[in-house]
Amino acid sequence: MLGRMLEELTWVEARTAIDSGMPVVIPIGAAAKEHGPHLPLRTDATVAMALARRVAERLPVLVAPVVPFGYYPAFVRFAGSQSLSAATFTAVLRDLCEGFVAQGAGRIALINTGHSTEAPINALLSDLHSRGVARVVAAHLRFLGRAADTVLDDPRGGHADERETSVMLALDARAVRMDRLPDRATNHDTASDALPAGIARPLVLSWTHDVGAADEFSPTGAFGDATRATAYKGQKIVDAVVGDLVHGLRAAFADAPGFAPAR
């Protein structure tokens, strides 16, 4: 592994890693957010950490522990699902970024697995940039690895769907309750029929308020046909996402030690 996992280091080793100019990667993924009846609440946290670890296998980055709570207001009606306010979530990330900068980090990348977390993160980046706080970038999962979506049979999903279930089958198959997959017809058609006029996808959130809670659009909390998921599809998607992350980080931090493309 070219990179290091912060939680596995001593403070002396962390000091060396930061002083070497390693960019800091902060994975963001909910550890308490519903993902239908078949995926664990920790799905986003698992994915975020797995992606960050795979990036560290290819680039010399310092991977921070996952941020396990965020701004997820649409899901709180499902038992166990938790959400911070947008202000609290932003404050947590600001403190983390500024804390690493205070210790000498000059490059920070956020790997974000959520949708409703995008706007608070983007607003934070604008604030940090305007104040000249190091170089902080964000990678939003829903824009990554899309070249691999050709392996999917049902592109209409959006949450705990074929794509997300396939990824979890590739990363942690034992955590997927295959015997509890939502019925495709009920899950897909009912969710689509319940959409308010003008909303094109089952789950659409505003970045300032919640358009509709997840259980208003799907009683299972899932959107899409998870019955088509396979570990093979998931591995293809993970590989594509990691490839996009590595490419993007090389471009963003081209001057970081060890980031120059191999000749």
- Cβ–Cβ under 8 Å, residues 28 and 110: yes
Name the percent of the chain lying above pLDDT 90.
79
Mean pLDDT of 142-169: 92
Q: Which amino acid is at 78?
A: F
Mean pLDDT of 217-245: 93
Which range of residues forms the domain containing residue 161?
Answer: 4-248
Is 214 among the domain residues? yes
For the chain, the average pLDDT equals 88
Question: Tell me, what's the pLDDT at 12?
Answer: 99
How many Cα neighbours within 13 Å face the side chain of 112?
26
Is 257 among the domain residues? no
- Cβ–Cβ under 8 Å, residues 183 and 189: no
Q: How confident is the model at residue 187 (pLDDT cuts 50, 70, 90)?
A: low
Tell me how many domains the chain contains: 1
Q: Flag whether pLDDT at 223 surpasses 90.
A: no
Mean pLDDT of 82-101: 98
Q: Find where tokens 């947008």 sit.
A: 86
Mean pLDDT of 86-90: 98
Distance (Å) of CA 143 to CA 63, 115, 203: 21, 10, 16
Give the DSSP letter string of 206-233: -SSS-SS-HHHH-TTS-BS-GGG--HHH
Q: Which amino acid is at 164?
A: E
Question: Tell me, what's the pLDDT at 185?
Answer: 47
Q: How confident is the model at residue 10 (pLDDT cuts 50, 70, 90)?
A: very high
Q: Among 8-17, 82-91, 131-140, which stretch is predicted with the lowest mean pLDDT?
A: 131-140
Is 145 among the domain residues? yes
Question: Tell me, what's the pLDDT at 219?
Answer: 85
Is 254 among the domain residues? no
- Cβ–Cβ under 8 Å, residues 192 and 202: yes
Is 207 among the domain residues? yes
Name the percent of the chain lying above pLDDT 70.
86
Is 136 among the domain residues? yes
For residue 26, list its beta bridge partners.
110
Distance, CA of 10 to CA of 16 (rounded, Å): 10
pTM, 2 dp = 0.88
Is 57 among the domain residues? yes
Q: Find where tokens 């306010």 sit.
A: 85
Q: How confident is the model at residue 184 (pLDDT cuts 50, 70, 90)?
A: low
Q: Which residues contact 190 (CB under 8 A, 6 or more apart)?
A: 218, 219
* DSSP 8-state secondary structure symbol assigned to residue 66: P
Buried b (16+ CB within 10 A) or exposed e, 152-189: bebeebbbbbbbbbbbbbbbbeeebeeeebbeeeebbe
H-assigned helices in 34-78: 43-58
Q: Among 34-43, 74-83, 212-221, which stretch is predicted with the lowest mean pLDDT?
A: 212-221
Q: How confident is the model at residue 109 (pLDDT cuts 50, 70, 90)?
A: very high
Q: What is the CATH number of the domain that holds 160?
A: 3.40.50.10310
Is 226 among the domain residues? yes
pLDDT in tens, 118-128: 999 999 999 99
